[in-house]
Amino acid sequence: MNERPWTTDSPSDASGSSSRDEPLAAGLAPEDGLAVDRRGFLKVLGFGAAASLAACERVPVHHVLPFTIAPEHVRAGLPVEYAGTCTACEARCGLLATVRDGRPIKLEGHPDDPRTRGGLCAVGQADLRALYDPDRLRAPTAGGQPTSWTALDQTVRRQLDELREQGLSFLVVTGRETSPTARRLIESFVTDRGQWIEIDLQPQSPQAPIEAYQTLTGSRLQPVVDWSQVDQVVSFSSDYLGAGADPVANTRGVADRRRQAKERGALTHVQIEGSRSLTGAAADRRLAANADERRSLALRLLGEVAARTSESDLATSLKAALSGLSEDEVATRRAQTLAVELLAAGPKGVVVCGDDDPTEQLAVAAINHMIGAVGRSLRLEEPLFESRPRSGVGALRAALADESLGGILTIDVDPVRQLSDGEAVAQRIAALPLSVAISARPTATTRACRLVAAAHHGLECWGDHQRTADRLQIQQPMIQPLFESRAPYENLLQWSGADATDYRTHLKESWEAHVPRPEGVGFDQFWHESVAAGATALPVSEGVASPSFDWTDALAAFRRSAAAVPAPATSVLELELLAEVALRDGRRAHVPWLRELPDPLTRVSWVPVFRISPALAERQGIEDGDELEVQIEERSIRLPARILPGQAEGVVGMPIGYGGEGEDPAWNAYRLTTLAGEGMKWTVAITSLRKTGAHEKLPLMQVWSSTEGRPIVYQVSKPDEAVHAPHHPAASLWKDREKKSPQWHMSIDLDACTGCGACVVACQVENNIPVVGEQGMRDHRDMHWLRIDRYFMGEADDPDVLFEPMMCAQCDHAPCETVCPVTATAHSADGLNQQAYNRCVGTRYCANNCPYKVRRFNWFDYRPKDPVEQLVLNPEVVVRSRGVMEKCTFCVQRIQSARLTARKSDQPGAPKVQTACQQSCPGAAIRFGDATDPEGDIATDRHEPRAFQVLAELGIEPSITYLARVRNRASSEADSSSGSKPHGG
């Protein structure tokens, strides 16, 4: 096992002092001399006396430390919820943190956030563990040695003054900054000889479409899809449901629209992509295509749309510009089908594009214009914070090359890891007179910089964030700082010699000066209300006047590209650098929950793999786990292969989230990127690919991808199509229980589930589920109570993907309960399959008798040992020890708490309970409630034609109902595989 800071202790040293190899009693002789002589007898007697004395001692003395003065709203043992903003990525979803006894123990999406409405992705959920990361920087350092804040401040201020005296400049490098207050602060900080550069180092950057509209309209405009208006979406590798720009909000929008299919027709989704993404897995139809094919298909689609719209000057000139496209029967037919569908949808159709190719982006913008999507399914908005001059990776390189540069200050970014020539950047930084990194964790950049300012985690500091024009969100601390760190932007206040050096005071002053508040409301009241709500509404000016389009440049680009479209070739191989759902760009790659979250598609955790197509695997004789060496010009990378049906034949996928601090630097895919304007290019041509002959057993959560025709998961082609699941036999081995209200039951709508894994992490946080580490995953000792099974169905090369969240179904006739020899698992009156951990002796009979394989056994002591790490534990849930079986209990601690609250306040009926998975789901796919309530959600879902239960034919009466996935294939390409009959792939 690799030595990594986030792995749990290796099993060998995990058992601590009570080693299982110690003899039972110290006085007993070893096996060969068991005869007890007089001395031996006395020894045993002596041990017995000592043991009995020890047993007479009271339990260890525990102390209770009350407050000296109790804070007004804090009661020991009662959770308090605070509103805030998630700072794990730039989506900045609204947050509700549950704080128990001064420490946040759970992060949830804020139900009042109009974009996410309570959803929060896996990364946001797991950000809590980044707060309690024992490897965080605990104090500022200078030259690698701990220093005081006073000394660091003096050094930075002196060196900044020296730079200015010498006429040298300095750089401030940040990620995409979403805080208006921080932006104003940076702007003022760089006024004297400074330059501020924002870098965006992720695929699917929102900048690419903005650049396209800049070319077309002369003004920077951002296309925003209004999912409630869309009937037909064509996506060119946009991963809007997965690792793209705003997955939680998009997932909710799409899921809500799909739920209206019965009333107003289906939302049909066609995905064109090289590497299979979550968005591609959710598509109703999918076309695998490499980067060149995608660009040419976008151009052909534009041509076909132009040919079918009424005669106009634009249509004529587009047709003329695209006449140079080479003959390609297959591509033309695909384009024609898409054009017909899009034009049928008209303004309710929309095309989105996640590629970095400028011509493809232009073509997509042109198609949206031609079908009239703009103003209906697509809004053009002025992006926030776009007033600054040139910024981006290109600007950063130019600035670093500038001779007059004397200093650099990085804030929460890691350019050394994330630029292709990172080593050179590191050398350049080290050679500067002033180099400061503000970071919460050690990174490649903090190693390159001489001064390191340890930063607070986002949950420890104040701030504000803006994602839409009409709403300003608050970020507030949920805990006292754990270490000697500082809020990132407090440093700028210190170093610029501001009067107020406390960031909270600065933020309040900034709000008082800049944020409009309702008339007649004093600032203190306004501030208080905004902090409590987590956000305040901003007045919105009138929408963007419809921009005037100038097609000259675009037509020229189309003409050039059309002439340059290469003939289809299967021998070309390209490497697609992609963001995975869990690790994204690697910013949170140190969080063990995210490392252990298996990728929804490859089902691999902990390590990066090359994703290759079955066709390529067959051609080159590659199997899962074979090590591949991919050569890109001078560089080569070795990673194990994972065959992923649906991958375009010539496209090899590689994740970008790996290779950070403490990891194999060869895993860092950023070394392969190239520059494209101010952004980066995420596809590179592969020079050669070969098998090295090495092979490894991958850490796979799921080894089999097919249901083998068994009735486990279903998809239908219409929302009202019925699933014909097998019925369970009339005779049963079990007696029926009396079913009084409440009987807890769950329903999961597979049509709203994208497999994103937010529920898996939410469950892990809520229920203190341990991390078993890379070797544990290789040994299939995963502990996730809730897993998302992924099945392939249909054609072997590009099958449909079906996700099925799978957890304990709390069977009414539970096979596990029948076989437990110590009654550690028993049924409760409200229909739960209880697990009394302290009663379990670890026979594992129950796990063997569970048809869903959802019971988890603690093979080792996985409990966190580090005191900082232990802060994350939920005090409402027992931390299980070695040798104990555990499983999902439908969040019984939440049920219990709701039950007590209901009884204390004399509320009639079943209490309202939200399980952790249900709460977190961005698509609101999970519903939970009392099955005996005839008007309730559960009864409604159970009567849906799409409803089915997994393995119900065993007569075990599971308490989870699934609703089948709907694949809208009503159009010309509807295929026979979309029936309700399940079949393997």
Partner 1 sequence: MSLLTSHPIRRGLGLVGLALLCGTACEPNNQGYAPEQPVVYSHAVHAGTMQIPCQYCHFGASESRYAGVPPASICMNCHAQVLPEHPEVQKVAAALAENRPIEWVRVHRLPDHATFDHSIHVAADLTCQTCHGPVETMGRVEQWAPLTMGWCLDCHRQGGGIETASVAARPAGRGNELTDCSSCHH
Which residues of this protein are in contact with partner 1, per CB under 8 A?
Answer: 25, 28, 34-36, 41, 44-45, 47-49, 51-53, 55-56, 58-59, 61-70, 75-78, 740-741, 826, 828-830, 832, 834-839, 876-879, 889, 892-893, 895-896, 899-900, 903-904, 908
Minimum CB distance to partner 1 smaller for 767 or for 918: 767
Q: How far is the CB of 925 from partner 1 (least distance, A)?
A: 25
Two structure tokens written together for 772: 């078993």
Question: How many Cα neighbours within 13 Å face the side chain of 261?
Answer: 21
Two structure tokens written together for 929: 């409630």
Give dist(CA 527, CA 522) in Å, integer. 9
Q: How far is the CB of 646 from partner 1 (least distance, A)?
A: 41
Q: How far is the CB of 205 from partner 1 (least distance, A)?
A: 45
| CB distance 967 to 783 below 8 Å | no
Minimum CB distance to partner 1 smaller for 58 or for 727: 58
Minimum CB distance to partner 1 smaller for 79 or for 372: 79
Q: How far is the CB of 680 from partner 1 (least distance, A)?
A: 48
DSSP 880: P
Could you tell me where the DSSP H helices lie in 139-290? 149-166, 180-189, 207-217, 247-259, 261-264, 278-282
Nearest to 284 by CA among 233, 225, 342, 335: 233
Instruction: Determine how β-strand 405-411 pairs with β-strand 434-439.
Output: parallel
Nearest to 254 by CA among 223, 285, 282, 276: 282
Q: 140: cis peptide before it, omega within 30°?
A: no
Q: How far is the CB of 896 from partner 1 (least distance, A)?
A: 6
Q: How far is the CB of 758 from partner 1 (least distance, A)?
A: 23
Q: How far is the CB of 503 from partner 1 (least distance, A)?
A: 25
Give dist(CA 607, CA 311) in Å, integer. 54
Q: How far is the CB of 769 from partner 1 (least distance, A)?
A: 14
How crowded is residue 427: how many other Cβ atoms within 10 Å of its Cβ?
12
Q: How far is the CB of 45 from partner 1 (least distance, A)?
A: 7
Two structure tokens written together for 603: 């089902």
Q: How far is the CB of 44 from partner 1 (least distance, A)?
A: 4
| CB-based burial label for 104 (10 Å; 0-12, 13-18, 19+) | buried
Minimum CB distance to partner 1 smaller for 555 or for 763: 763
> In a 3-state reduction of DSSP, which class is residue 479?
coil
Could you tell me the sign of the dihedral formed by the alpha carbons of 469, 472, 473, 476, in that order? positive
Give dist(CA 928, CA 936) in Å, integer. 9
Minimum CB distance to partner 1 smaller for 54 or for 567: 54
Contacts of 312 (CB under 8 A, 6+ apart): none
Report CA-CA distances (Å) from 286 to 279, 323, 334, 798: 10, 26, 11, 8
How crowded is residue 977: how many other Cβ atoms within 10 Å of its Cβ?
17
Beta bridge partner(s), residue 475: 463
Give dist(CA 971, CA 905) in Å, integer. 55
- Which amino acid is it at 545? A
Minimum CB distance to partner 1 smaller for 49 or for 685: 49
Contacts of 148 (CB under 8 A, 6+ apart): 140
Q: How far is the CB of 837 from partner 1 (least distance, A)?
A: 6
Minimum CB distance to partner 1 smaller for 32 or for 634: 32
Q: How far is the CB of 783 from partner 1 (least distance, A)?
A: 17
Nearest to 230 by CA among 337, 346, 309: 346
| CB-based burial label for 21 (10 Å; 0-12, 13-18, 19+) | exposed
| CB distance 199 to 415 below 8 Å | yes
Minimum CB distance to partner 1 smaller for 53 or for 330: 53
Minimum CB distance to partner 1 smaller for 41 or for 385: 41
Minimum CB distance to partner 1 smaller for 74 or for 521: 74
Minimum CB distance to partner 1 smaller for 28 or for 572: 28
Minimum CB distance to partner 1 smaller for 78 or for 567: 78
| CB distance 726 to 954 below 8 Å | no
Q: How far is the CB of 907 from partner 1 (least distance, A)?
A: 11
Q: How far is the CB of 66 from partner 1 (least distance, A)?
A: 4
Minimum CB distance to partner 1 smaller for 889 or for 919: 889
Q: How far is the CB of 893 from partner 1 (least distance, A)?
A: 5
Q: How far is the CB of 26 from partner 1 (least distance, A)?
A: 12
- Which amino acid is it at 475? Q
Q: 726: cis peptide before it, omega within 30°?
A: no
| CB distance 748 to 925 below 8 Å | yes
Minimum CB distance to partner 1 smaller for 40 or for 851: 40
Minimum CB distance to partner 1 smaller for 6 or for 890: 890
Give dist(CA 115, CA 253) in Å, integer. 8
Give dist(CA 625, CA 639) in Å, integer. 9
Minimum CB distance to partner 1 smaller for 34 or for 545: 34
Minimum CB distance to partner 1 smaller for 52 or for 191: 52
| CB-based burial label for 90 (10 Å; 0-12, 13-18, 19+) | middle
Minimum CB distance to partner 1 smaller for 34 or for 569: 34
Beta bridge partner(s), residue 642: 611
Q: How far is the CB of 105 from partner 1 (least distance, A)?
A: 14
Give dist(CA 44, CA 64) in Å, integer. 39
| CB-based burial label for 713 (10 Å; 0-12, 13-18, 19+) | buried
Q: How far is the CB of 29 from partner 1 (least distance, A)?
A: 10
Could you tell me where the DSSP H helices lie in 667-821? 758-766, 773-778, 815-819
- Which amino acid is it at 581? V
Question: How many Cα neighbours within 13 Å face the side chain of 537?
Answer: 6
